[in-house]
Structure 1
C-alpha cells in the first residue's frame, strides 16, 4: 500500500494516469457513437470511430491540450496497443484450423501472402511510398484491417500519420467491398455456392466485421464460414509479424543502418508481443478459461484497441496526411481489386 501511495505521488505516474483517463473518455464516446443506426448498418467498429474522434480532437483542440496528458496518450498508442494485440488472441483457437480444413487454410494463406507481397512491392517500388507506409497499407489489406495496421506499426516503427492513412484505406475499400459482395452475389455475378462465397468473403474482406456482415447477408452458413476463414488470416498475423521483423533487421544490416550496439540488442526489438499473441491463442484453445471470462476479456480488449486508435488519432496531423497524397489509396484500391478477382478464382479452385 505504501508503494502505491509513493507511486501516485510521482508526477509522471499522475500524468500517465490522467492521460489514460483522458483517452478512455474518448474511447467511451466512440463506443456510444458506433451504436448509431447508420454506423451499425455499415459494420463500422469502435476502432474506426475512435481514430476519427481522435483526429478531430488532434487537429482542432490539440494545441490547447495540457502537457501533463501527453505521457498517457503516448502510452496508449504504444504499450497499451501491444497489450491489446496480445489479448486479441483470445478471439481464436487452433481448433478453428480443423473446421476449415487444409483447403480453407491454404486459401487464407494464399490471399494473405500474395496481397502482402504485392502491396509491399507496389508501394515501395512503383508508388515510391515510404517503406513503413507501404507495409502498413499492405498489412491492412492482407490480414485483418485496422488491427493488423496497429500490430505492424511497432514492428516497422511507423509514424502516427502513416498508421492513420493505412487505417483510412481499410475503412474505404473494406466498406465498399462489404456492400458490393452480397449485391454481386445476389445478382448472379459471383457464381459460387454459399459455402464457397463465405470462404471467399473471409479470405478477402478487410475487417472481421466486414466478413461477418457480408457473409450473414447471404446466409447464416455463409456467415459462419466467412468468420472462420477470416480468423485464419488473423492467426497468420503472428508469423507475419515475426517474419517482417527479421526481414527489416536483415535489410537494416545490409544497408549499414544498424551499428554493432544495435546488432547486439536485436532481441530487444524482436516483436515478442506476436509470440504472446500465439500463446493466448493456445491458452484459449485449451478451454480452461470459462466462456464468460473470455467474452469479458474480448470486450475489454476492444476497448483497449479503441483507446489505442483514439490516441493514434490525437497524434495525427492532417497536414502530414495531405502531403502524402492519394498514392496510398491508389495502392489500396489495386489490392482491393486483386482481393476480389484473385480471391474469386482461388476460392472456386480450392473450395468449390
Structure 2
C-alpha cells in the first residue's frame, strides 16, 4: 500500500466518528420540540461529543485521534469560510448606517467589557476571557470556534465559552419577546418591530436565537433581526484580524500560546480563513451562483461545523469544565446583562443622535 494512502487512512476512523455524531445532531435538531426551542445542530453536536468523549471514547481515542484533530482544526476553518454564504454585502443596506453602527458599538463594548473584567475581576485566563467575549459579542458558538485557533485556546476553554453562549442565548430568546410585550403594554420606550429586530439581532448570541426571538414578535421583526445579526456576523473577519495583531503585540508572560508567538519575531499571523469568509460573502453578494448550489454548500457547511463541534466535544473532559468553576459563568452573566441593558440603551440613543444630525 502506498505511503500516502496509508497516511490518509489514519484519518478515516476519526472522520467516521465525528461524521456520525454530526449527522445525529443535525437530525435531532430537526425534531419539532428542539426546533421550537431553537436548539441547533452545533449545540447538540458538542453535547453528543461530550457524552461520548467522557464515556466510551477513551477506549478508541488512539485510533481516531488523527481524524478528530483534523476535524477540530482543518474542517473548522473550511466551515468558517463557507459560513460566508449565509450573507451578502447587500444585507448591510437593509439595516442602514445606523444599524451597522449599533452592531459595531455593541460588539466593541461587549468585548471590551470582557477584557476589562475577565482577568482582573473574575481571575480567568486570557484565552477563556477572549473566547467568552467573542461568543457574547459576535455570533455565539461559531465565533468561539473561529476565535479558538487565533488565541490557541484548549478544547475545554472553548467548550466552557460555548456553554455560556448556549445558556444565555437560550435565555435571551425567551426574555426578549417578553420585554417587547411588557414595553408595548406600558409604553415606556418607542420600539417598532423594525427597531426590535435590530435590537435582537445586535445583542442576541446566535443567529437561530435572534430569528426565534424576532419571530415571536412578528415577521418584520424576524426579517430585520436576521439581517442585523448577519451584519454582526460579517464583523467576525475584521475582528479576528485585529485580535491576531493585538495578540502578537501583547504577549502574556508565561503563556504557552504567547511564548510561541514571541518566537515569531512579532510577525502578525493572519487568520486566512477569516479573509476567506469575507471573500466568500463578497462573491455571494454578486449572486452568480445558482441557488441550488448555494443551498447544497450551506448544507455541507452545516455538516462541517457540526463535525468540528463534535470533535471539540470528544476532546473535552467534564473534569476540566468543572475545574473552571463559576467564574466563566459569572463573566458571561455580566456580559448578558450588558447586552440586554447596555444594548437597549445603544439601540435607543444612537438613532436619536443620528436624527439630530440628519443621518
Q: Same fold (TM over 0.5)?
A: yes
Cα 1:62–1:214 shift into 2, 3 Å: same
Taking the aligned partners of 2:346 and 2:288, their CA distance within structure 1 comes to 37
Cα deviation digits, residues 280-308 of structure 1 (max 9, x gap): 11111111111121111111101100000
- Alignment match of 2:132 (pick from 119, 132, 137): 137
The two structures have a TM-score, normalised by structure 2, of: 0.92
Taking the aligned partners of 2:161 and 2:262, their CA distance within structure 1 comes to 33
Question: Which residue of the partner structure matches residue 263 of structure 1?
Answer: 265
Taking the aligned partners of 2:52 and 2:108, their CA distance within structure 1 comes to 36
Q: Where in structure 2 are there 5+ consecutive unaligned residues?
A: 353-359
Cα deviation digits, residues 303-337 of structure 1 (max 9, x gap): 10000000000000111111110111111011110
The answer on whether the counterparts of 2:151 and 2:247 sit within 8 Å (CA) in structure 1 is yes
Q: CA deviation at 1:8?
A: 6.2
Alignment of 1:27-176 (within 5 A): 27-176=22-171
Question: Which residue of the partner structure matches residue 283 of structure 1?
Answer: 283
Question: Which residue of the partner structure matches residue 355 of structure 2?
Answer: none
Cα deviation digits, residues 47-80 of structure 1 (max 9, x gap): 0000000000011112211522110000000111
Establish whether residue 223 from structure 1 lines up as the match of residue 222 from structure 2: yes
Establish whether residue 9 from structure 1 lines up as the match of residue 5 from structure 2: yes
Question: Which residue of the partner structure matches residue 199 of structure 1?
Answer: 198
Question: Which residue of the partner structure matches residue 317 of structure 1?
Answer: 317
Q: Where in structure 1 are there 5+ consecutive unaligned residues?
A: none
Cα deviation digits, residues 27-63 of structure 1 (max 9, x gap): 1111122123321111011000000000000111122
Taking the aligned partners of 1:213 and 1:122, their CA distance within structure 2 comes to 30
Taking the aligned partners of 1:328 and 1:76, their CA distance within structure 2 comes to 26
Cα deviation digits, residues 116-171 of structure 1 (max 9, x gap): 11012211221110100000000000000000000000000000000000000000
Alignment of 1:239-254 (within 5 A): 239-252=238-251
Question: Which residue of the partner structure matches residue 305 of structure 1?
Answer: 305
Name the stretch that deviates more: 253-262 or 328-337. Answer: 253-262
Q: CA deviation at 1:174?
A: 0.5
Taking the aligned partners of 1:100 and 1:28, their CA distance within structure 2 comes to 35
Cα 1:63–1:260 shift into 2, 3 Å: closer
Q: CA deviation at 1:257?
A: 3.5
Q: CA deviation at 1:6?
A: 3.5
Taking the aligned partners of 2:250 and 2:61, their CA distance within structure 1 comes to 40
Name the stretch that deviates more: 188-197 or 300-309. Answer: 188-197
Cα 1:170–1:283 shift into 2, 3 Å: same
Taking the aligned partners of 1:185 and 1:97, their CA distance within structure 2 comes to 24
Taking the aligned partners of 1:337 and 1:137, their CA distance within structure 2 comes to 14
Taking the aligned partners of 2:19 and 2:262, their CA distance within structure 1 comes to 41
RMSD over aligned CA atoms reads 1.8
Taking the aligned partners of 1:260 and 1:156, their CA distance within structure 2 comes to 13
SS of the residue 2:316 aligns to: coil
The answer on whether the counterparts of 2:248 and 2:262 sit within 8 Å (CA) in structure 1 is no
Taking the aligned partners of 2:55 and 2:259, their CA distance within structure 1 comes to 37
The two structures have a TM-score, normalised by structure 1, of: 0.94
Cα 1:114–1:288 shift into 2, 3 Å: same
Taking the aligned partners of 1:56 and 1:214, their CA distance within structure 2 comes to 29
Which 4+ runs in 1 deviate beyond 3 A?
5-9, 253-261
The answer on whether the counterparts of 2:251 and 2:262 sit within 8 Å (CA) in structure 1 is no
